Structure 1
Amino acid sequence: MCLWCTSNKKCIEYPVRSILPPSSVCALSSARWGVCGGRKRAKSKPDREDEKAAREKEQRRVRQEERRAEMKSRHDEIRKKYGLFKEENPYAKFENN
């Protein structure tokens, strides 16, 4: 586990022998737990894991859209079969031209 010290802008290994970091390491008000990796990673370019996660997310989104369209089609067929298909509103407002 790491510790980010905002006062000196350094990431250090968390001193596991003590519950709170000693003031000689970092002032308690400046200590941030577990954020070192995020800070270092934010500056670097996206790595393979990030790219792979983005690709997988996009593939899931595409599959979900396909499933959604398929389910809509299936439901529309069932609605037509039982005469429940939503048609144009027969009570649409007349236009007086």
Structure 2
Amino acid sequence: MMASRVFLPALLLLFGLVTVFAQSAAPGQACEAKNGTTCEECLQNVTCLWCIKTKTCLTYPVSTILPPHSLCPLNDARWGLCWMNFQILIITLAVIGGIIIIAFLVCLFCCCKCENFGSRRFEARMQRQANKQKIKQEERKAEMKQRHDEIRTKYGLSGQNPYSKFA
């Protein structure tokens, strides 16, 4: 659990740094310079966005998370892969993220329920053992009382204790 708390922010930070360095590493290769090329050539640079409708290579607008519709519609925008449009990419990532979250919640619920079930079972077993020990102790106590009574009758001490009035 603790590892996932550290891993996810570290992964996001790494992804952000890679994106920033990729943008600053190639200032001479402006995406607009590749307008007359193909989608594959345009998307070699991670900062570029290919619009199929206008067949232009654009610099990805990092100020907005999604490219605006005026720049290029989502179903015509390509980023990273030429065969997958931006809309399908977003839907796929959302579905995968939702499945991961649901799976995490189900596992969390099952683990907590199983843990509680296990502790209840453990407590019941401990209670049974305590009851058994208590019964055995009462039986030993009764046997000792019987043995003491037999010894008292054997030696004639079964009468009232003469020291009882001092107590």
Report the TM-score range of the alignment, normalised by the length of the smaller protein.
Answer: 0.3 to 0.5
Bigger relative contact order, structure 1 or 2 (CA pairs below 8 A, ≥6 apart): 1
Whose strand fraction is larger, Structure 1's or Structure 2's? 1
Q: TM-score, normalising length from structure 2?
A: 0.26
Give TM-score scaled by structure 1 length. 0.43
Choose between structure 1 and 2: higher helix proportion: 2
Which structure is larger by alpha-carbon Rg, 1 or 2? 2
